[in-house]
Structure 1
Amino acid sequence: MGHQVAGDQGMKARLGFLLGPPLLWLVVIYLGSIAVLLVSSFWTVNGFTGEVVPTFTLDNYATIFTDPLYGTVALRTLLVALGVTLIDAVVAFPMALYMAKVARPSRRALYLVAVTTPLWASYLVKAYAWRILVEPGGPIAAATGGYTPGFGLPATIMTLAYLWLPYMIIPVYAGFDRVPDSLFEASYDLGASTWRTIRNVAFPLVFPAIVAGSIFTFALSFGDYIAVGIVGGKTQLLANLIYGQLVTANNQPLAAALSVIPLVAVVLYLLAVRRTGALENV
């Protein structure tokens, strides 16, 4: 018994030694950068020289809360992130169900490759491909007899939903793959229809996987600004304002203060997800 305890302690010590550098990197680099971001959000900019002045002030947050532009854009960004997440969940659910439970096992690997292949393509290539699709006179207009969403909010939502869809399909597929086939067979034997089986058997068991995928789609949509600039036209999301303040206006403290909004939004989303208890069953 004593040798086993000593062996366990030695294993823990070796694991601690191996995990020490990654944890140190996480604390110093990642959490440290967030700390610098939070601190710099209370600084100001010299109006004459444009240099950052490390003097404590609440002016940046006062600007955010008093200027209606920031509130409008923040709300729009939140709705876009939730909309993209909902669209991806609706699309991913039947696709993952078919891949895991309907398709032949010999083809499942092929479908997984097809789903993950777009992740290897360049982000800009995919975004510009959607720009070509939605532009006036593009393929969508040719296929629908002249209708196209054009550049704007609908095109932004469509593009983001496409970009982040694999991040929803893979967790949901994994969730379906863990559900025993016997549960579906038992439901059918008891007289349940296909829709009732999906609603009462499959969905509750796969819900934690949907929640896990939603974390990716929500966070990635909330922080995206490149696709918005490509297909969004005059539409602005919060990340575009942050980029503008940082690069165009050269106001790093205000950009840092604006960056706190998505940070808080993602943290609140994670807390809400945790309260559902879904992550404990992933």
Structure 2
Amino acid sequence: MSAVVASHQSGPLRGLSNLLYRRSTLYLLLLLTPPLLWFGVVYVGSLFALLWQSFYTFDDFTMAVSTDLTLANYAALFNPANYDIILRTLTMAVAVSLASAVLAFPIAYYMARFASPREKAFFYIAVMLPMWASYIVKAYAWTVILAKGGMFYWLIQQLHLEGLLGSVLTIPGVGGNTLSTSHLGRFLVFTYIWLPFMILPIQASLERLPPSLLQASADLGARPRQTFAQVILPLAFPGVVAGSIFTFSLTLGDFIIPQLVGPSGLFIGTMVYVQQGSVGNIPLAAAFTLVPIVLIAIYLSIAKRLGAFDAL
């Protein structure tokens, strides 16, 4: 019996276990190799393939793509029509991020500072429940809600705000015939769908706020408004930036909501979809795809400096 145990302990598995225990770097390398291979080959490799295709040439006459390399696709991004698409998408992403932060902060603050455990559980479910529903179903539902004769217009009529809504819809760059055909309606849908991604990082950031700091601020004679502006908001700001990473990037690359809600003005996502699908101009679509990648990379570098990754 003792001989069997000794042979088992000195077997190949035991030797491999001892080797990995002594060389932790080798053990870590074996653990990370499969995901790193997937990340390097599938993810980064596909991005490089996309970047390479953006230099291909598209023949407008034959509708064919050739491997002749050119910079014409990137030069086309600065055409007035294409540049307007990029600017429109970037403006919407920034506006949605700001609106989401304004709406999310009071909810997150109440969840972190005042809600009882039962109320906090209710808020968690209420915030996350819409995320379980189908994204396309929610977008289609909003087209009905914002249409003339829909629920939103009924609420506007009950509040006697038809004149104010009509004035807003006449603003250049905002308006349309109805909310469902306006940039304002598109903005409302974006804000609703991405709001949970802003609430949760802010709430997590506020949860880590030490109560002793608030007590010290009160002991030093600071008013609640001063405490909020000089203590709470600066410490919770990384959570706001962390949430804005989601709202900004998701709005920047979305193509479903711009197709279903709002006017016919293209966004980056819809432009990529149209070029590679209907037109077949894959090189121009690839060049457009690089725009949100660059914008998000710049945004992430700024967010890192502001400590957003510490709040994730």
- Whether the 8 Å CA contact 1:152–1:235 is kept in 2: the answer is no
Residue of structure 1 in register with 2:15 after alignment: none
Task: Kindly provide the amino acid, as one letter, of the partner of residue 59 in structure 1.
Answer: A
TM-score, length of structure 2 as denominator length: 0.83
Q: Which residue of 1 aligns with 2:40?
A: 27
Is the Cα–Cα contact under 8 Å of residues 152 and 234 in structure 1 kept in the other structure?
no
Shift of 1:277: 4.3
2:304 to 249, 264, 274: 274
Match of 1:143 among 151, 155, 158: 155
Residue from 233, 251, 254 that aligns with 1:221: 251
1:59: how far off? Answer: 1.6
1:46 deviates by 3.7
CA deviations 1:69-99 (Å, max 9, x no partner) are 0111111111100000111111111110000
Deviations 1:98-138 (A, max 9, x none): 00101112321221121111111000111112111111111
> How well do the aligned residues superpose, as a CA RMSD in angstroms?
1.9
Structure 2 match to 1:127: 139
State the secondary structure of the residue aligned to 1:150: helix
Matches within 5 A, 1:191-230: 191-230=221-260
- Letter aligned with residue 302 of structure 2: A
Superposition deviation, residue 191 in structure 1: 2.8
Per the alignment, residue 104 of structure 1 pairs with: 116
CA apart distance, 1:240: 1.2
In structure 2, the partner of 1:41 is 54
Deviation larger for 145-154 or 176-185: 145-154
Shift in Å, 1:236: 2.0
Match of 1:174 in 2: 204
Partners of 1:189 and 1:8 lie apart in 2 by 53
**1:161 and 1:214, CA in 2 relative to 1: closer, same or farther beyond 3 A?**
same
Distance 1:132 1:270, change over 3 A: same
Judged with a 3 Å threshold, the aligned counterparts in structure 2 of structure 1 residues 136 and 9 are, in CA distance, closer, same or farther, namely farther
1:213 Cα deviation from its structure 2 partner: 1.1
Partner of 1:154: 184
Higher mean C-alpha displacement, 6-15 vs 267-276: 6-15
Deviation larger for 35-44 or 231-240: 231-240
Report the Cα offset of residue 232 of structure 1: 1.6
Q: What amino acid is the match of 1:42?
A: F
Is 1:85 the counterpart of 2:97? The answer is yes
Partner of 2:5: none
CA 1:11–1:114 in structure 2 vs 1: closer, same or farther (change >3 Å)?
farther
Give me the whole-angstrom Cα distance separating, in 2, the residues matched to 1:219 and 1:37: 19
Q: Secondary structure at the match of 1:52?
A: strand
Bigger radius of gyration among the two: 2
Q: CA deviation at 1:48?
A: 4.8
Cα drift, residue 163 of structure 1? 0.9
Letter in 1 for 2:249: A
Aligned residues: 276
Q: CA deviation at 1:54?
A: 1.0
Q: Is the 8 A contact 2:204 2:311 kept in 1?
A: no
Which one-letter code corresponds to 2:55 in the other structure?
F
| Identical pairs, percent | 42
The equivalent of 2:10 in structure 1 is none
Q: Following TM superposition, by how much is the alpha carbon of 1:195 offset from its aligned partner in structure 2, in angstroms?
A: 2.0
After superposition, the Cα gap between the structure-2 partners of 1:143 and 1:59, relative to the gap in structure 1 and judged at 3 Å, is: same
Which runs of no fewer than 5 residues in structure 2 stay unpaired?
Answer: 1-18, 166-177
Q: Which residue of 2 aligns with 1:14?
A: 27
TM-score by length of structure 1 reads: 0.92
